[in-house]
Amino acid sequence: MFKHAEFRKIISSYIDGEVTQRERDMVAKHMEECRACKRYHDELKISRGYLRDWKDEELTPDLEVRIRNSFLGSRHKKGGIKMKARRSIIIGVGSLGLAAVLALVITGQFMTNPNFRQMIFGGSIAAVKPIGIEGGKDMKTDEISGKEITLVEKPVQVEKLAVTREVKDISGPSNSKTVPLSNMIPGAEGRPAMKAHYADAMTYEADSAAAIIGREDFNTEAYDRIYENRFLSAKDNPYSTFSIDVDTASYSNIRRFLNMNRMPVQDSVRIEEMINYFTYNYNEPKGDKPFNVTVEMHNCPWNEKRRLALIGLQGRNIDTKDLPASNLVFLLDVSGSMNQPNKLPLLKQAFKLLVNNLRKQDRASIVVYAGAAGLVLDSARGDEKEKIMMALDSLKAGGSTAGGAGIKLAYEMAKKNFIKDGNNRVILATDGDFNIGASSDAEMVRLIEDRRDDGIFLTTLGFGMGNYKDSKMEKLADKGNGNAAYIDNLLEAKKVFVNELNSTLFTIAKDVKLQIEFNPAKVKAYRLIGYENRMLKKEDFNDDKKDAGELGAGHSVTALYEIVPADSTEDIPDVDPMKYQKTVTIPSDDVLTVKLRYKNPDEDKSKLLEGVILDSDLSGKASENFLFASAVAEFGLILRRSEHKGNASYESVLARARSSKGEDKYGYRAEFIKLVEMAEILDQ
């Protein structure tokens, strides 16, 4: 049986006949037992029916009066409009429903007339004063009562029109079909102004569904189960192979939880993403190599019997003026679930920061998806900032989430405007809630894998809470040759799109893989901290067909290994001796060998780098890089309630983090310290 919240979310589709027979039967049965939901259905249906029946006509000064009379049964009185207070007069149209319907009708009439400006949406119904005609009025919805309502003159507010053109609907079997937006929006036939604002005008429907999402009992956030890497014998498993990971989504998501005075969900904690949220002071690469490798090893802070090895990659920095031209497609979720302050409004602010950093040679397109995918802006130049900003400002939230159709159209636009030797990228911004079309994870992954061979990369940006699909966002970025971030506030948007723009958008190496070979004479066992969903088979290292991670300009990547020394008496998991082979350990001062494979962004053949680390190379005082990275890792072990956390403690984390804060130009490390302090208080 449907709950009230579930009913409200699909009622619009039910009225328009866009639900399955099973859903239709369940809704009908629910309405038989729930008078409140039946009334909600009847009010919406009457409102929608009236809109379809309303005839287009030339605007006249008494149009507003006649519209209101038609809905409210009111009568025109000399000197003003008097509304009847009786509920029977407004059967089928509640006060919120009235606001939505009047907004739609008035918009439909006014916006098709070139002499009128856009109406003002929000908490009031606003008629607009026509140019050259006296008598423009404004009426607030909360003033509908049995009292006289005075219509007060207000200055006209101007807002540019949103999407009024035809858009591609690729949700069906054909990818070349074009249909008007009115066909996608029931009740909007013939009314261009309704196209962009339909969902926003029907606020009583959209808001009621959106408000449910943030509720504790309606939390549908999704995180993949993480099975932590275990200790492996260096004798039986000398190779550790993995793909680099430059995602940072986990850290900012953890911050969101803590700032809400809640401990984060255990499987939202990906330690490698926490570590790689921060930049480190590694040496720059020399010559034409895209990156430099740094290795450091010291005692393990949370287990004195073990050691901790740090392996750091530093990507080559590229001056902005020397970067290739960008062809960016903003793929933006404008479905009903995005109708919250920390979703679509924050998304708009974030992308405006990016737009301000575009150059003349760059291009930007905007594709949106809700009930269907639509093209809002077709490849504007980077210096046409006002045009791009206006397109962003026009976006409104409402409808279901046709994520699959949106991604198809976005890749189509990226390919259409492809820049040879340039940075061609789709930037997907959503709460991760794909529920129509290509919705399964496997189907979406296949789609993106098929498109990445065209040289188009994918960046995913997560927004909001309540129905955030973390697992899906990470998969899409991973398979789309890109990176994933979570935007929990405007400062994080600035970090991604301003402070670290080059590393976010400009790839200098793709399919970057690391393979570490441990010397059993020096290492008894080892464990890679994090990177659980980036592990590769040892054979994958030399396989150029195997996909791996990408490294952006100036980006650093850090990995930590917890090591059991060869002379340790600690018991570790072991296997029976091999019957047909014998393993002989060659005496050597080597501790480990680091091998790295990567491809240039426009090439398909990998290149190999290799370096040997001697025992004598790993002595001396721990660097700030090591101290801070190990502090972040230890914090992650605590948050994950890891079985490998040993003697990890908040006190230990704070001591090392404070001593290694360093210059901290943007205050990210200082913020980390505050988050640890907050978690310590919450974790009682």
Q: Is 417 helix (H, G, I), strand (E, B) or coil?
A: coil
CB–CB of 85/155 below 8 Å? no
Domain boundaries, the chain: 4-167+187-213, 232-318+508-682, 320-505
Question: Per-residue confidence at 128, pLDDT binned at 50, 70, 90?
Answer: very low
Encoded tokens for 668: 């990210």
CA distance 159 to 137: 18
Which class for 349: exposed (0-12), middle (13-18), buried (19 or more C-beta within 10 A)? middle
Q: What's the confidence (pLDDT) of residue 216?
A: 42
Give percent of the chain above pLDDT 70: 71
Higher pLDDT, 375 or 435: 375
Q: Indicate whether 68 pLDDT > 90.
A: no
Q: Map tokens 């929006």 to a residue.
A: 185
Q: What's the confidence (pLDDT) of residue 4?
A: 66
- Closest among 389, 477, 388 to 429, alpha carbons compared: 477
CA distance 578 to 585: 15
CB–CB of 466/219 below 8 Å? yes
- Please state the three-class secondary structure of 102-134 as a single string: HHHHHHHHHHCCCCCCCCCCCCCEECCCCCCCC
Rg (CA), the chain: 29
CA distance 126 to 136: 10
Identity (one letter) of the amino acid at 361?
A: Q
Identity (one letter) of the amino acid at 669?
A: R
Instruction: Please state, in angstroms and as integers, the Cα–Cα distance from residue 167 to each residue in 180, 380, 388, 415, following that order.
Output: 6, 17, 17, 17
Q: What's the confidence (pLDDT) of residue 105?
A: 44
Average pLDDT over residues 643-670: 97
Selecting from 1.10.3720.10, 3.30.465.10, 3.40.50.300, 3.40.50.410, what CATH number does the domain 320-505 have?
3.40.50.410
Q: Cα–Cα–Cα angle for 546, 548, 549, nearest 5°?
A: 165
CA distance 369 to 232: 46
Higher pLDDT, 376 or 176: 376
Ordered DSSP codes for 234-279: TTT--EEEEE-----HHHHHHHHHHHTT-PPPGGG--HHHHHTTS-
Give percent of the chain above pLDDT 90: 49
Q: What's the confidence (pLDDT) of residue 474?
A: 85
Q: What's the confidence (pLDDT) of residue 454?
A: 82
Q: What's the confidence (pLDDT) of residue 381?
A: 96
Quick one: CA torsion of 7, 11, 15, 21, rounded to 10 degrees?
Answer: -50
Segment (H or E) for 473: helix 470-479
Instruction: Provide the whole-model pTM.
Output: 0.69
Average pLDDT over residues 510-517: 96
- Closest among 419, 404, 403, 497 to 455, alpha carbons compared: 419
CATH code that applies to domain 232-318+508-682: 2.60.40.1230
CB–CB of 676/650 below 8 Å? yes
Q: Indicate whether 436 pLDDT > 90.
A: no
**Residue pLDDT, tens place only, 416-430:** 999 998 999 999 999
Half-sphere exposure for 67 (CA within 13 Å, toward CB): 28
Annotate 109-137 with b (16+ C-beta within 10 A) or e (fewer): bbbbeeebbbbbbeebbbbbbbeeeeebb
Q: Is 465 helix (H, G, I), strand (E, B) or coil?
A: coil
Give counts: helices (H), strands (E), the chain. Answer: 20, 23
Encoded tokens for 302: 């949370």
Among the listed ranges 157-161, 332-336, 662-666, which one has the minimum average pLDDT value? Answer: 157-161
